[in-house]
A and B are shown apart, each in its own frame.
Chain A
């Protein structure tokens, strides 16, 4: 009989408590009296101990909890998990999936080889998984196939036509379970609107202007070396700068020329003040008509002024948190990354900001792939459990409403860029870009509209985000 590990009633009343840390990994063998997780509330840290010997199986990840919540089960050796678990609680055993950034110390995911057979059958995905267990493929076989759906990498358990389905509850042609991974290749995005405006609607995917990221030289270079490098190798002919049009040809300056003094005929005549004043309305009107769109009243709509702030954040603690949560969420195939931590930090900072508080706490996370861009929105990111927020971003089944976003996040890592200013959607006060991590640090660049949010508030926001990213365990308290 599995022993429940529940949140003890410590008389904490309605005060928010959270599971701060699992001391024992999922699948670990624990002894009676061994502390298995830490519960925190206010200034109190409570080490909760195992009440029996056995194998610990997590049922909840770090995050907010309440007294009586079932956080884990302790199984006796050889014991299997009860099948009467609610359907929503059934979690698939993780396949052998190891993200590249995972530390070597991360425990191996449970497998048939490392755990008793009963254990590997513990979390059935659906009734069809009994077939999966009956087939019992060798660990070397790839048990999952990948497919694309809605831009997410979809991991399917292959249908096995040879397997019997005694319950007949799941058609053989349908995957028994679908798992989503972040950062897949999404379908082709909708084109940018002709006027360049960013006006996404729920469900739409938005293409960002990445012209600034286009390569400088796209034409094949006949002078390229054998290795395909655009520059000629040493043995080839002399390098022709004009091909790149970097520096236009200019007249050589002679020694006797001294300061360049243009003759009056070369100068554009400067109009007298009165004349200039008279011309100004016409010039303004012409400029407005030619260069700027007009609003309903016929006035020009000038592009908003966008300023940027930049700061470097240390990632040691964020990496540790990601690795820890990845282990805890392994069964649900949720792998948090740096952007998830930043997303959470931004949501918290937005909630704490007096200026941003009334704009909602939704955070739009723009996951940028090398080939395309997608907009994923998680609403009320600070209010829902961390795991739910990350899962919502990964699944993107409910796109959310970008109009409710207080802030936007852009990940530059897929481009390999260390830093860069994010595009600021019209009407949005803030957008943050996270650069690719380098030596345990990442550059955070904040773009903001000073006419929407005061400069001081923007600076505070960026500093607060860095503070939370560098001490991210505080984010679990939401």
Chain B
């Protein structure tokens, strides 16, 4: 793909830097609140560009324009699985998040990156294509159906919110999730879409932390940025010290 526009003549102080947070297994609502806080900081000119990597406990999320969940089963069945249905501000339709799925949320000031929204979307897809390539899988992007596909099967879904050029939400790559959970919904509002996972395509177990590492590598490659892993324990200790 064409890389996102990047001014080669800009001074080195404008080098794109991204803090990477590997959050482990999380609840959706907590990370959602974290995203909102980071985006708000970034909008106001503070904070740093961030990439949050996590896998959520099972949850179903809805896009802003699709407040009615497009379920294949009765809502009571979803409740019996112990899943919440959460309304979000992102674009797109319904989707599922759960363990075994790598979710990457980018909080990025696109204006500072001189990057258009469409380039950013394409870059996220290209990042996933790169990750799949590391496992010998050929991922494809489609102009008319966002996300990343392996043949006719969808392996990664995408949904973004942008406000004052700062993004939130991102992309979800199925590494080794419980695929039966996708049967509860019509993913992305499409009744005939078939979902797949990386481990299914590879035919063996794929460790999620290795996929996360690969994702960070390809994110940095595609967006030509420097990444810095943030040790949450150290950071929390420092915050606690400052508060104390």
Residue ranges of A at the interface with B (Cβ–Cβ < 8 Å): 10-13, 15, 20-21, 33, 35, 38, 40-47, 49, 317, 470-471, 473-474, 476
- Would you call A474 and B91 a contact (CB within 8 A)? no
From B68, B117, B147, B189, give the contact of A44 (CB < 8 A).
B117
B121 closest partner in A (C-beta): A44
Closest chain B CB from A90 CB (angstroms): 31
B90 within 8 A of A: yes
- Would you call A471 and B118 a contact (CB within 8 A)? no
A49 closest partner in B (C-beta): B164
- Would you call A470 and B68 a contact (CB within 8 A)? yes
- Would you call A46 and B163 a contact (CB within 8 A)? yes
Asked, given contacts A10-B116, A11-B116, A12-B117, whether A35 binds B163 with beta carbons under 8 Å apart, the answer is yes
Cβ contacts under 8 Å, A474 to chain B: 65-66, 189
- Would you call B118 and A45 a contact (CB within 8 A)? no
Cβ contacts under 8 Å, B16 to chain A: none
Cβ contacts under 8 Å, B91 to chain A: 40-45
- Would you call B68 and A317 a contact (CB within 8 A)? yes
Closest chain A CB from B120 CB (angstroms): 9
B161 within 8 A of A: yes
- Would you call B64 and A11 a contact (CB within 8 A)? no
- Would you call B160 and A47 a contact (CB within 8 A)? no
- Would you call A45 and B164 a contact (CB within 8 A)? no
Cβ contacts under 8 Å, B147 to chain A: 43
Closest chain A CB from B78 CB (angstroms): 17
CB-contacts of B106-128 with A (<8 A): 116-119, 121
Cβ contacts under 8 Å, A47 to chain B: 89, 161-163
Q: How many A-B residue pairs have CB under 8 A?
A: 82
Question: CA of A74 to CA of B29 in the docked complex: distance in angstroms?
Answer: 35
Cβ contacts under 8 Å, A15 to chain B: 118
- Would you call A46 and B67 a contact (CB within 8 A)? no
Greatest chain B CB density within 10 A among A38, A43, A45 is at A43
B89 closest partner in A (C-beta): A45
Residue ranges of B at the interface with A (Cβ–Cβ < 8 Å): 63-68, 70, 89-92, 116-119, 121, 146-147, 158-164, 189
Chain B, interface SS category: loop
- Would you call A42 and B121 a contact (CB within 8 A)? yes
From B89, B119, B146, B164, give the contact of A43 (CB < 8 A).
B146
Cβ contacts under 8 Å, A471 to chain B: 66-68, 70, 189
Could you jot down 9 A-B contacts, CB within 8 Å? A12-B116, A43-B91, A43-B147, A44-B161, A45-B91, A45-B159, A46-B117, A46-B162, A49-B164
Question: CA of A38 to CA of B88 in the docked complex: distance in angstroms?
Answer: 13
Chain A, interface SS category: mixed
Closest chain A CB from B149 CB (angstroms): 14
Question: CA of A44 to CA of B167 in the docked complex: distance in angstroms?
Answer: 10
A8 closest partner in B (C-beta): B165
Closest chain A CB from B190 CB (angstroms): 12
Cβ contacts under 8 Å, B118 to chain A: 10-13, 15
Greatest chain B CB density within 10 A among A10, A11, A49, A317 is at A11
- Would you call B163 and A43 a contact (CB within 8 A)? no
- Would you call A46 and B68 a contact (CB within 8 A)? no
Closest chain A CB from B3 CB (angstroms): 14
A33 closest partner in B (C-beta): B164
From A21, A33, A45, give the contact of B90 (CB < 8 A).
A45
Asked, given contacts A40-B65, A471-B70, A473-B65, whether A45 binds B116 with beta carbons under 8 Å apart, the answer is no
Asked, given contacts A15-B118, A473-B65, A474-B65, whether A43 binds B70 with beta carbons under 8 Å apart, the answer is no
B88 closest partner in A (C-beta): A45
- Would you call B160 and A44 a contact (CB within 8 A)? yes
Question: CA of A10 to CA of B164 in the docked complex: distance in angstroms?
Answer: 11
Cβ contacts under 8 Å, A46 to chain B: 117, 161-163
- Would you call B65 and A20 a contact (CB within 8 A)? yes
Question: CA of A470 to CA of B91 in the docked complex: distance in angstroms?
Answer: 18
Closest A-B pairs by Cβ, 3 of them? A11-B116, A45-B91, A43-B92
Cβ contacts under 8 Å, A45 to chain B: 63-65, 89-92, 159-162
- Would you call B162 and A11 a contact (CB within 8 A)? no
A39 closest partner in B (C-beta): B162
Closest chain A CB from B128 CB (angstroms): 14
- Would you call B67 and A11 a contact (CB within 8 A)? no
Question: CA of A160 to CA of B211 in the docked complex: distance in angstroms?
Answer: 76
Question: CA of A459 to CA of B163 in the docked complex: distance in angstroms?
Answer: 41
Cβ contacts under 8 Å, A49 to chain B: 163-164
A467 closest partner in B (C-beta): B70
- Would you call A43 and B117 a contact (CB within 8 A)? no
- Would you call A43 and B158 a contact (CB within 8 A)? yes
Asked, given contacts A15-B118, A43-B92, A43-B121, whether A10 binds B162 with beta carbons under 8 Å apart, the answer is yes
Closest chain A CB from B60 CB (angstroms): 15
Cβ contacts under 8 Å, B92 to chain A: 42-43, 45
